Amino acid sequence: MSELSSKRLARLNSRSSGTVAALDIGCSKTTCLIARPDTDNPRRMTILGAGRQQTRGFAGGTITDMEGLERSIRLAVEDAEREAGEPISEVILGITGPKLTSRLITSSLDIGDRVVTAKDVRRLHSQALTRAAQSPAHRQEDILSAWPVVYTIDKAAGRVRQPVGMIAGTLTVKMSIVSAPRAIVKNLVECVGRAHLGVRQLVPSAIASGAGTLIEDEIENGAVCIDLGSGVTAVSVYLHGSPAWLGLVPVGGAHVTADIAQGIGTTFAAAERLKSVYGTADLEGPGLAERIEAPRLGDDGRLHASRLERAELARIIAPRIEEIFEMTLDLLARSDVKSVLPQRVVLTGGASQLPGVREVASRILKTPIRLGRPVLAETLGEQLATPAFSTASGLLLYPELGFTDAARAGVSSLETEGEGGSGKLKSVLYWLKENF
């Protein structure tokens, strides 16, 4: 049994059976899933209810209308509760946006040529957290997650996954730290609270996409997950069985739709339908000479019947898709994990279903691409078992994966933060209280 499977089983055996709920607030839709973990199989869940609503008041990872977003959350949650036949009081909440930062922190601890204990590892983690919390560039941020990616002993070659029980002079850890501006975290938690819900855990949506899409072998041996969403494209990197890095490209499927609306002179809704029914990013594929119905706005401001070749639509779509993956390539080249990037790439998200997108991604990234569906596809049902729901299903799975997270920030830091206090330092103190 792999280490990841062992962690999952230990997590399941240590908790009482019950329901778990996930809330994914995306730029185009808000999704709530209610499920019950399968105690016999950590990779399965029974989906009890699902709710989807168009997102209002949220754009690019920022709340623009608190009341509008609250209503979207309420409606999605009510739909899920109605289908599940039971209410929920707390959710695992995804958080996204270009303001999230991801960095690798290196910290070392003198062990003194003796056996490494679990307490030594916790001290090393707290040291790394303290260093991250005191960084001048991140003082106004809350640490959302802190995953130890790899350990080294005495600067020797080779990576250590679990140092406890080994003899070491010096133990070093590379820890992946994800943080977000405190105001964004507070407002998001407050908005969910207005819908009479507590936040059980805050999870970066990019990481949730990987958790919901990558198979166990990809998590263990390393993979890149690219979630091509509506408003943003989220990128996550998994190394050595743990989340290692995330980044965001501020362009997504909605920008393709906007290009079509501007390019042929139509409404956004009509452009979205054209993209969904006839769109392709493949400029050399079959059927490009086909003439399709493409209504355009007339002088009276109304849509009028018109036709164009499908190739013309492809010539509008392809440059934007190419730009997204060129920006993704540049983002990865500037990341903290650029020297150890895995070659396995999985593409997911609603916009990834557009024909030709995988081929464009493979050409620009120069690697084979797997189109990923949620690993819970068999239990999600036909309507939800698509790449568009990878993040929501990943939020359900994330707690069951057993990733070591040295920080319980976000909600925890808000609960422990005093007037004028530092959320980061409070989250460090909270972690110390929980682990010592």
pLDDT digits over 175-206, tens only? Answer: 999 999 999 999 999 999 999 999 999 999 99
Average pLDDT over residues 272-289: 93
CA 29 from chain centre, in angstroms, equals: 15
Per the rule left: phi > 0, alpha: psi between -120 and 50, beta: everything else, 187 is alpha
Q: Tens digit of pLDDT for each residue in 258-273?
A: 999 999 999 999 999 9
pLDDT at residue 16, rounded to an integer: 43
Q: With beta carbons less than 8 A apart as the criterion, state whether 236 and 335 touch.
A: no
Dihedral of the CA atoms 197, 198, 202, 205 (nearest 10)?
Answer: -10
pLDDT at residue 295, rounded to an integer: 95
Average pLDDT over residues 366-377: 92
pLDDT at residue 117, rounded to an integer: 93
Alpha-carbon distance of 247 to 331, in angstroms, equals: 7
What fold is seen in the domain 253-315?
Answer: Nucleotidyltransferase; domain 5 (3.30.420)
pLDDT at residue 102, rounded to an integer: 94
Every domain of the chain with CATH number 3.30.1490.110 lies at 101-181+417-435
Whether the pLDDT of residue 389 is over 50: the answer is: yes
pLDDT at residue 156, rounded to an integer: 76
Alpha-carbon distance of 428 to 406, in angstroms, equals: 9
Q: DSSP code of 160? A: B
Alpha-carbon distance of 433 to 413, in angstroms, equals: 12
Query: Model-level pTM greater than 0.75?
Result: yes
Alpha-carbon distance of 275 to 316, in angstroms, equals: 10
Compute and round to an integer the Cα radius of gyration of the chain: 23
Every domain of the chain with CATH number 3.30.420.40 lies at 253-315
Average pLDDT over residues 48-77: 92
258's enclosing H/E stretch is helix 253-264
Highest mean pLDDT among 99-103, 150-154, 255-259: 255-259
Q: With beta carbons less than 8 A apart as the criterion, state whether 107 and 128 touch.
A: yes
pLDDT-based confidence at residue 419 (cuts at 50, 70, 90): very low
Whether the pLDDT of residue 380 is over 90: the answer is: no
pLDDT at residue 379, rounded to an integer: 79
pLDDT at residue 169, rounded to an integer: 92
pLDDT-based confidence at residue 301 (cuts at 50, 70, 90): very high
pLDDT at residue 2, rounded to an integer: 55
Alpha-carbon distance of 80 to 77, in angstroms, equals: 5
For the chain, the distance separating the N- and C-terminal CA atoms, rounded to the nearest angstrom, is 30
Please choose, from the candidates 402, 413, 404, the residue with its C-alpha nearest in 3D space to the C-alpha of residue 143.
Answer: 413
pLDDT at residue 7, rounded to an integer: 52
Architecture of domain 101-181+417-435: 2-Layer Sandwich (3.30)
Q: DSSP string spanning 92-140?
A: EEEE--TT-EEEEEEEEEEEEEEE--HHHHHHHHHHHHHHHHT-GGGTT
Q: Tens digit of pLDDT for each residue in 324-364?
A: 999 999 999 999 999 999 999 999 999 999 999 999 999 99
Dihedral sign (CA 109, 114, 115, 117)? negative
Q: Give the burial string for 200-232 (b: 16+ CB within 10 Å, else e).
A: bbbbbbbbbbbbbbbeeebbbebbbbbbbbbbb
Q: Poorest-confidence range of 35-49, 308-322, 391-405?
A: 35-49
pLDDT at residue 338, rounded to an integer: 93
325's enclosing H/E stretch is helix 310-333
Q: With beta carbons less than 8 A apart as the criterion, state whether 35 and 18 touch.
A: no
Whether the pLDDT of residue 433 is over 80: the answer is: no
Largest CA-CA distance found in the chain, in angstroms, rounded: 82
Q: Which residues contact 132 (CB under 8 A, 6 or more apart)?
A: 103, 105, 138, 143, 146, 175, 177, 179, 424
Q: With beta carbons less than 8 A apart as the criterion, state whether 28 and 268 touch.
A: no
pLDDT-based confidence at residue 14 (cuts at 50, 70, 90): very low
Alpha-carbon distance of 106 to 343, in angstroms, equals: 24
pLDDT at residue 376, rounded to an integer: 86
Residue of higher predicted confidence among 413 and 109 = 109
Q: DSSP string spanning 326-352?
A: HHHHHHHHTSTTGGG--S-EEEESGGG
Instruction: Tell me which amino acid residue 180 is.
Output: A
Alpha-carbon distance of 321 to 355, in angstroms, equals: 11
Residue of higher predicted confidence among 422 and 259 = 259
pLDDT at residue 25, rounded to an integer: 94
Whether the pLDDT of residue 71 is over 70: the answer is: yes
pLDDT at residue 315, rounded to an integer: 97
Whether the pLDDT of residue 320 is over 80: the answer is: yes
Strand order in the sheet with 198-204: 45-54, 29-37, 20-25, 90-95, 198-204
Q: Given the structure tokens 């990733």, which residue do they identify?
A: 403
Dihedral of the CA atoms 372, 378, 382, 384 (nearest 10)?
Answer: -60
Please, what is the average pLDDT of the chain? Answer: 88
Apex 193 CA angle, 20 and 397, nearest 5: 25
Q: DSSP string spanning 137-155?
A: GGTTEEEEEEEEEEEEETT
